[in-house]
Amino acid sequence: MQVYNAPLRDMRFVMHELHNSAAHVAEIGQPDVTEELMDSILEEAGKFATDVLLPINASGDEEGCRLENGVVRTPKGFVEAYRKFCEAGWGALSSPVEYGGQGLPEVLGKMVEEMQCSANLSFGLYPGLTHGATLTLEGHGTEELKRRYLPKMIDGTWSGTMCLTEAHCGTDLGMMRSKASPQADGSYKINGAKIFISAGEHDLTENIVHLVLARMDGAPKGIKGVSMFLVPKFIPNDEGRPGARNGVTCTAIEHKMGLKASATTQLYFDDATGWLVGEAHKGMRAMFTMMNAERLSVGIQGLGVAETAYQSAAFYAKDRIQGRALSGARHPDRAADPIIVHPDVRRSLMTVRAYVEGCRALSGWVATSLDLESKASDPQRRQEAEDFTALMTPVVKALFTDLGFELSSMALQVYGGHGYIRDHGMEQLVRDARICMIYEGANGIQALDLVGRKMPAHMGRFLRQFFHPVQAFIEANAADPKVLPLAKSFAALQQATAHIATMSLKDPEEAGAAATDYLRLMGLVALGFMWAKAAKVAEAKLPEANGDAGFYKAKLTTAQFFADRLLPQTGALWSAIRAGKASMMELEEAAF
């Protein structure tokens, strides 16, 4: 049995106490979005996740999707759950008001998104892909396309996809073969085949809007010749309803390791009618609007799955009795003690808890920057927020999803053999978490993006948006010994940054060899910073906490665990980075 109840108290702590939601909403011009309003939305979202989405998670995995005469049927309960999802307006939470959205802050939207991922990741992909598609269309579509498509995508009547990958090219999209031929009416005929398309075909919505990368006739070779097109499953008629069926066919659904209730499809475009989104041959610019949004969302997916894994494992550890505590029987009236008394079980649970709460705090910081990037009145603040988001996007995507898989596996270990069988649902969480490390840019690509593009960009300007606040916090709290682990780890990060910058000028492979370790190093320092700040808040609140004393004490204890047991990994990562590429690259290809 999977256990999940939305961690509302910790979410409120992150939004209101750690990141000061009152000051934040004032800065983005939304002072009417009060703490009370946000809390009520979180509470209702938690109920929806636990009462509607969680009960169909395991059954959806068991049943999976099926393809019938070109139509994908989702598992039992998904159509009804999606109807309730749309009626409640969950998909429109942070979307623009002018197209029917609620325009609420991204920091709130990300918390709700985490709940959906925790309760039912397969379900969450359907509206999640649509949200990314609406952001792309909003940023790059013509007014006509936005007027015609955005309202129905935002209210959930229509859904969206991103069609990039082809059988012969994934990361290297310049190799794609899909073609777009211009027509006299300004539209294009799209021809080609795409694979691994999440939510590419399903029975939840009346129409599906595909954003497709293809190459125009006579386009430049490589990535500079790729354009983006909007290709609906049904072409809307004059009344805005689905009209003629377009030339888009689902030829197969992928048989996957996990996420079996999410339809991952192969699509064939045969003279399908599409419209250009953005500029000709600038499709990658439009694509990255959606890709960057999806990368942050995929990071939230890793966090969400890890939260459910933690809650489930903690519940089991308090219920399962095996052996006696090393210090003597804790429950002499029972045949054995619950396994939560054992240090190694505690190590596992504390590790998962510390990472999950740290990631939630970091996601809140990034989400506030998303708000500032689009809504702050001060142009400098908008630029700073954009720089910070750009820097942290690969970190959040890779770190959170690596941890999502690692922590789900660790939580499964708490169950012993019972975790490996299907009855408890833990093996599903491990299987579901694994793809998050791969799609929307495999995590090795995220690391290369960080060291190859984000780190040197504008003479290190992006880095300053992270380094400066960490440095300022350390200096302001220099007398506090609890901040010393963060200071040591931050020093290692600074040294590693300078080392990679110097070595990569001589040999670009040195940066590539260091990339994954550097991303983890930066991620750990970011989590350490969040925990150090969280501890300061908890310490200040504890004397007058009253009923919340237990929460703040747990926060302080978990912060200390992170500093003692997890943050020291930064030293080993810095040592690995210093070792360079030699032993990694020396073997001849034939020796592998």
State how far the Cα of 43 lies from the Cα of 124, in Å rounded to an integer: 18
Compute CA 523 distance to the chain's CA centroid, rounded to the nearest angstrom.
14
Residue 253's pLDDT is: 97
Q: Would you please indicate which residues are annotated as catalytic (active-site) residues?
A: 440
| Residues of the chain above pLDDT 90, percent | 93
| 288: Cβ contacts below 8 Å, ≥ 6 apart | none
Residue 292's pLDDT is: 77
Cα three-residue angle 62-67-71, rounded to 5 degrees = 125
Where would I find the beta strands (DSSP E) of 38-178? 66-68, 71-73, 158-163
State how far the Cα of 540 lies from the Cα of 410, in Å rounded to an integer: 33
State how far the Cα of 1 lies from the Cα of 427, in Å rounded to an integer: 11
207-216 and 158-163: which strand pairing? parallel
Collect the ranges in the chain with pLDDT lower than 50.
Answer: none
Cα three-residue angle 471-472-478, rounded to 5 degrees = 85
- Report the SS3 class of residue 330: coil
- Residue 99, amino acid: Y
Contact between 395 and 450 under an 8 Å Cβ cutoff? The reply is yes
User: Residue 30 carries which DSSP code?
Assistant: -
- Residues 163, 168, 174, 180, CA torsion sign: negative
pTM: 0.97
Residue 243's pLDDT is: 96
Nearest to 213 by CA among 196, 229, 195: 229
Tens of pLDDT, residue by residue over 115-154, are 999 999 999 999 999 999 999 999 999 999 999 999 999 9
Cα three-residue angle 120-292-390, rounded to 5 degrees = 125
State how far the Cα of 582 lies from the Cα of 32, in Å rounded to an integer: 57
207-216 and 179-182: which strand pairing? parallel
Residue 168's pLDDT is: 87
Residue 173's pLDDT is: 67
Contact between 215 and 178 under an 8 Å Cβ cutoff? The reply is yes
Residue listed under structure tokens 């010393």 = 484
The two tokens of residue 357 are 């709460």
* 270 φ/ψ angles, rounded to the nearest 5 degrees: -120, 95
State how far the Cα of 145 lies from the Cα of 142, in Å rounded to an integer: 5
| 537: Cβ contacts below 8 Å, ≥ 6 apart | 13, 17, 18
Instruction: Report the 10 Å Cβ neighbour count for 100.
Output: 15
Where would I find the beta strands (DSSP E) of 220-350? 226-232, 234-236, 242-245, 248-253, 264-277
Contact between 200 and 130 under an 8 Å Cβ cutoff? The reply is no
State how far the Cα of 120 lies from the Cα of 114, in Å rounded to an integer: 10
Altogether, the residues listed in the chain come to a count of: 592
Residue 494's pLDDT is: 98
Residue 213's pLDDT is: 95
Residue 286's pLDDT is: 83
Residue 244's pLDDT is: 96
Residue 185's pLDDT is: 97
The two tokens of residue 246 are 């377009």
Could you give the angle at which helices 461-476 and 484-506 cross, rounded to 10 degrees? 160
Nearest to 450 by CA among 528, 526, 369, 393: 393
Q: How far is CA 534 from CA 220, 283, 554, 558, in A?
A: 51, 41, 11, 10
